[in-house]
Amino acid sequence: MRAVAAVAFLTFSSIVLLSGGATPRNIPHRALPTVLPNPNLERAGVLRDGVLTIELEAKESAWQLNGPNRAPMTVAAFSQSGKPPLIPGPLVRAPQGTELRLSVRNSLPRPLTVFIPAAIRGGRNEGSVVDSVVIEPGAIGHLTTHGTVPGNYVYRAKSGQPRLRVIDGLLAGAIVIDTAGAITPPHDRVLVIMASMDSVLTANATAHGDAVNFNAPPVGRLIFTINGRSWPNTERIAATVGDSLHWRIINATRLYHPMHLHGFYYRVDAISNPGDDPTGQDGAGRLVVTQIMPPLSAMSMTWSPDRPGNWILHCHFALHLMPDSVSAAPDDPHLRGMVGLVLGINVAERPGVHAAGVPSPRRHLRLIAIADSAPRVGQSGDVVPSMRFVLEEHGRRIEARPWFSPEIDLTRGEPVSIMVVNRLAEPTSVHWHGIELENAYVDGVPGVSGAGAHLAPAIAPGDSFEARFTPPRSGTFMYHAHVDEVRQQQAGLEGALIVRDPGTGPSPDEHVFFLTGPRWADLSRSTNPTEAIEINGAANPDTIILHVGRPARLRVVSLATASPEPVVSLTARPDSVFRELDSTTFRRLRTEYRAGKMSRDSFHVVLQDQMVVQWRVIAKDGASLAPSTEGLHAARQRVGMGETYDFVYLPERKGQLRLEVRVGPPFIGLLARVPIRVE
């Protein structure tokens, strides 16, 4: 039970102990330099004769994270010598083969340890395998390495207090090693994600000696930024239809971030994961609409908009978008909007080329948002009403169950009109997640979706909104509320959206597993595994039937509110328990692994269920995978919040199976399971 409780609570609150923090000190802010947001457009230092020399300084600075009208916060930040401090720190960028010489002056009143990943010079790509230097207060430390492996990396620093932090304050930045012979200057953007504790949270963590209290309410907050800014103040990237956009996204936090692009697919050109990958598949080369980024990971991506309008890229872990009374916009008194990890993209029409219109719909659906009369009361007294959508077509009404919405089935290439009717007592909206919409106006982000001054509103109580689109490809998608996301998605305003080829329908051997929950408003207090994740709206789903010799298509969709990185597996093991490692054994094995005495594969073998079957991964986010990647793999896959996967499993004999959802590593925290009988 404790493992699951830890996931829900750490994700929402105490995980901040693993992230950066501000340092409250009695220093007059007028005497401190002001931290500036870093757009990561200029390389730091001097590059000469194959050597990049950079002089950095770590110093206490004033960060006006909520604008000039609020008091600044004292925080540790990096600057180049003689220049203002930046968030993130100055960009370290050089061609492959460059020698990097970093000198760091520690102007903080405590020792500082600076880290550079060893993977940059060909070392193991592990978060714990680093080159480092300890610098006493007032001293200068030196780090020299070679950028031999092209890619995107994080440099960071910490003072060691609290002990669980990996980054102090804003002391982190990007390292980019360009492939030899790359275009100079590069036609790309470097986007660094950071999560920093405010002064209240830092003071609370320090006062409690890093103790993780699983029963205490959250104190203070995390500030999430992209290149030093939080939505709605993040940069709006301008593009034109037909442009090729190349982005490097670097996760300089100890949190998972599933990065979702509205309206388009993007290609994952490369992804580095210094943590544990339970599948051995990093996803490079795939088309996706959402890609989960583990702690301290980085991704290179490419996409090309072929339709104009306003779109967004954002972390799909809704808890990272939640406003509070400090961060919310002045016109958002009910805290229903977004803040934090959101990037706006304004795509203009290409001169002389006009977007095609939306064809007249062949089908007309009504999607009605309702609230049930019996709310569920959380452990702390919070009331979470059951909200859900009801689907109507030709007078036929389709309902799922409380706290869950029905599946919408559409046909590839067939224009559809979906009239969203709001019978709630509050505004809502619907985002058609993964669908390549012809018109940005129906994308479902109030005040953003559309173009110019023609922006979509939230759907007011008693009002309606028509979404017209033509799904261009078959696959597994989803729809969900995009107003007050955490609360409305918890309440059930979310469902699967399946697009099939013309003339085809669902098969008896096709099954959708939609991961949702928990249903409590107070996520930090969930202690029951069945409260952590539900499958298709049920804590204890019914047994499903598969058939020997008949391929089964398993569609997995995740909108698990408090678990952004669950691992789904299909196992022949007859019970829920496997290799329950005690903490001492786990630490010993991890030490052996980090010391190079055990390979990554061997380490995973010890931690993982040895009775998982094999399946084929055939699609990600509705995009079919290349045949060369469709071989049989161990039936284990991390499915991030906002991701969908399609698997094919061929039962070869009668018996019992279990589809399990776990957290880890080690993958011993069972969040949900579905019994399966093969006949």
Q: Does residue 356 form part of some domain?
A: no
Tell me the per-residue pLDDT of 402-427, one tens digit each, with 9 for 90 and over. 889 999 999 999 999 999 999 999 99
Structural domain contains residue 4: no
pLDDT at 603: 57
pLDDT over threshold 90, residue 555: yes
CA pair distance 278, 638, nearest whole angstrom? 7
Above pLDDT 90, what percent of the chain? 57
Q: Would 549 be classed as within a structural domain?
A: yes
535 occurs within a structural domain: no
CA pair distance 65, 57, nearest whole angstrom:
21
Residues 150 and 213 in one domain: yes
Rounded mean pLDDT, 453-473: 96
Work out how many domains the chain is built from and give that number: 3
193-207, pLDDT tens digit by residue? 999 877 666 666 555
Q: Give the pLDDT confidence of 353-388 residue by residue, as tens digits.
A: 776 677 899 999 999 999 987 555 544 445 667 899
Examine the domain organization and report whether 325 and 235 are in the same domain. yes
Q: Does 434 map to a domain?
A: yes
Query: Are residues 436 and 317 part of one domain?
Result: no
Say whether both 379 and 340 belong to one domain.
Answer: no
Q: Which domain holds residue 598?
A: 544-678
Average pLDDT over residues 265-293: 80
pLDDT at 602: 57
User: CA-CA distance, 438 to 308, in Å (whole number)?
Assistant: 9
Q: How many CA atoms lie within 13 A of 15 on its CB side?
A: 22
3-state SS, residue 550: coil
Highest mean pLDDT among 13-27, 511-525, 554-568, 577-591: 554-568
Q: Which tokens is 550 given?
A: 């008949």
Residue that wins the pLDDT comparison between 123 and 10: 123
Q: Cα(191)–Cα(181) distance, rounded to whole angstroms?
A: 22
Same domain, 434 and 326: no
Same domain, 497 and 610: no
Q: What is the dihedral of CA 305, 306, 309, 310, to 10 degrees?
A: -20
Residue 107 has a CB neighbour count (10 Å cut-off) of 15
What's the mean per-residue pLDDT of the chain? 83
pLDDT score recorded for residue 490: 85
**pLDDT digits over 496-544, tens only?**
999 999 999 889 999 999 999 776 544 443 434 334 689 999 888 999 9
| pLDDT above 50: residue 477 | yes
Q: Is residue 538 part of a domain?
A: no
Report yes or no on 100 lying in a domain. Answer: yes
For residues 142-165, give the mean pLDDT: 85
Residue 46 to residue 48: CA distance in whole angstroms:
6
Which residues 6+ apart lie within 8 Å of 123 measured at CB? 117, 129
Q: Are residues 180 and 295 in the same domain?
A: yes
Tell me how far apart the alpha carbons of residues 532 and 520 are, in angstroms, rounded to a whole number: 9
Q: How far apart are CA 473 and CA 476, in angstroms?
A: 10
**Alpha carbons 351 and 339: distance in angstroms, whole number:** 33
- The CATH code of the domain that includes 613 is 2.60.40.420
Using only C-alpha atoms, the chain has a radius of gyration, in whole angstroms, of 25
Residue 385's pLDDT is what?
76
Is the predicted pLDDT of residue 2 greater than 60, yes or no?
no
Lowest-confidence region among 91-105, 335-349, 461-475: 335-349
Is 9 within the bounds of a domain? Answer: no
Residues 244 and 367 reside in one and the same domain: no
662 falls in which pLDDT band (50, 70, 90)? Answer: confident
DSSP state for residue 388 in the 8-state scheme: E
Whose CA is closest to 467, among 496, 428, 430? 430
> Which residue type sits at 270?
A
Residues 253 and 400 in one domain: no
Same domain, 491 and 638: no
**Helix/strand number for the chain, H first, E second:** 6, 49
Residue pLDDT, tens place only, 566-578: 889 999 887 655 5
Say yes or no: 261 and 368 in one domain. Answer: no
Whether residues 325 and 368 fall in one domain? no
> CA-CA-CA-CA torsion for 257, 263, 265, 269, nearest 10 degrees?
-50
